[in-house]
Amino acid sequence: MASDAPRYLATVMLPYVFKTVDLEELIRRANAFIRHMRKDTPFWEDFPLFKPGGLDPWTEPRPEEVTEFCRVLRTLPLATREHLIDFASRSDRRASSGSQPVDQATSYGTRKRGIEAEESGRLLLQMGLLVRSDDPRGALQRLTVKELTEFLAQQGVEGVKVRRKGKLIDTAMERCPQAVAEKAKGVCIARLAPQYAPAVAWAHEHIDRSVPFFQVWLGFAFENSPPKG
């Protein structure tokens, strides 16, 4: 229950709708396990008990704009579905334009499970979920703060005291735009296709709602699950 497996399943199973069975029994077993573990393991003291209300994320109909989005997702490999959600999550906080190198926009968990990022990115572009971007600042998103500071120094931009990545990128765009454009050559920079933005926003919320169900289901729906309390 406490691993990243429930969120992974919530992400890759996003395009499907499931009918839950024996949910109350699974919740009872999960809560009995948590109460038992709290006796000896401090970690579980802060792990909340499950409540029946809201644990089934498939009770409400899906918005109309989500239908086509889910149809496209179903054609993609599991790792590529996860790649898209990683990309969208990182776009929110990495650049004002949302542009970034496609093959770099994967989380540690996605890479750990195995992915050919370039091929996965090609599929996302081919299916129209991502669109290419001509914003060169996206090429700088792969750099660390240290690397950005060194890049600026190489371009003769000295005395930069800020340590925020976004500010360093803004400085590079303002002070040495030609060097940034040169660095962007050969890098596949993309952004989320605008028509899918509402569906992706829904997807983030749906994944969060689905995680508790998959925590209970993975932990207690199989024969080798922890014993009943």
- Predicted TM-score (pTM) of the model is 0.85
* Mean pLDDT over the full length of the chain: 90
Task: Note the pLDDT of residue 204.
Answer: 95
Question: Do both 162 and 214 map to the same domain?
Answer: no
Q: How many CA atoms lie within 13 A of 47 on its CB side?
A: 20
Looking up tokens 């919530």 gives 10
Helix (H) or strand (E) holding 150: helix 145-154
Please report whether residue 82 resides in a domain: no
As a whole number of angstroms, the distance between CA 227 and CA 229 comes to 6
Task: Note the pLDDT of residue 227.
Answer: 53
The predicted-structure confidence for 162-191, as pLDDT tens digits, reads as follows 788 889 999 999 999 999 999 888 889 999
Question: Do both 64 and 25 map to the same domain?
Answer: yes
DSSP output for 135-185: -GGGGGGGS-HHHHHHHHHHTT--------HHHHHHHHHHH-HHHHHHHHT
Question: Do both 55 and 2 map to the same domain?
Answer: yes
> In total, how many domains does the chain have?
2
For the segment 137-145, the average pLDDT, to the nearest whole number, is 85
Q: How many CA atoms lie within 13 A of 192 on its CB side?
A: 25
Question: Do both 176 and 207 map to the same domain?
Answer: no
As a whole number of angstroms, the distance between CA 80 and CA 106 comes to 10
For the segment 143-163, the average pLDDT, to the nearest whole number, is 88
| C-beta pairs of 204-207 under 8 Å, 24+ apart in sequence | 204/85, 204/88, 204/89, 206/10, 206/14, 206/57, 207/7, 207/10, 207/11, 207/14, 207/85
Helix (H) or strand (E) holding 36: helix 23-38
Rounded to the nearest angstrom, the gap between the alpha carbon of residue 210 and the centroid of all alpha carbons in its chain is 14
Question: Do both 2 and 69 map to the same domain?
Answer: yes
Helix (H) or strand (E) holding 228: none
The predicted-structure confidence for 39-54, as pLDDT tens digits, reads as follows 999 999 999 999 988 8
Please report whether residue 21 resides in a domain: yes
As a whole number of angstroms, the distance between CA 91 and CA 199 comes to 15
| Containing structural domain, residue 54 | 1-75+195-229
Question: Do both 167 and 199 map to the same domain?
Answer: no
Question: Do both 201 and 145 map to the same domain?
Answer: no
Please report whether residue 85 resides in a domain: no
Question: Do both 10 and 64 map to the same domain?
Answer: yes
Question: Do both 140 and 207 map to the same domain?
Answer: no
Please report whether residue 30 resides in a domain: yes
| Tokens found for residue 203 | 């997807």
Please report whether residue 20 resides in a domain: yes
Question: Do both 14 and 46 map to the same domain?
Answer: yes
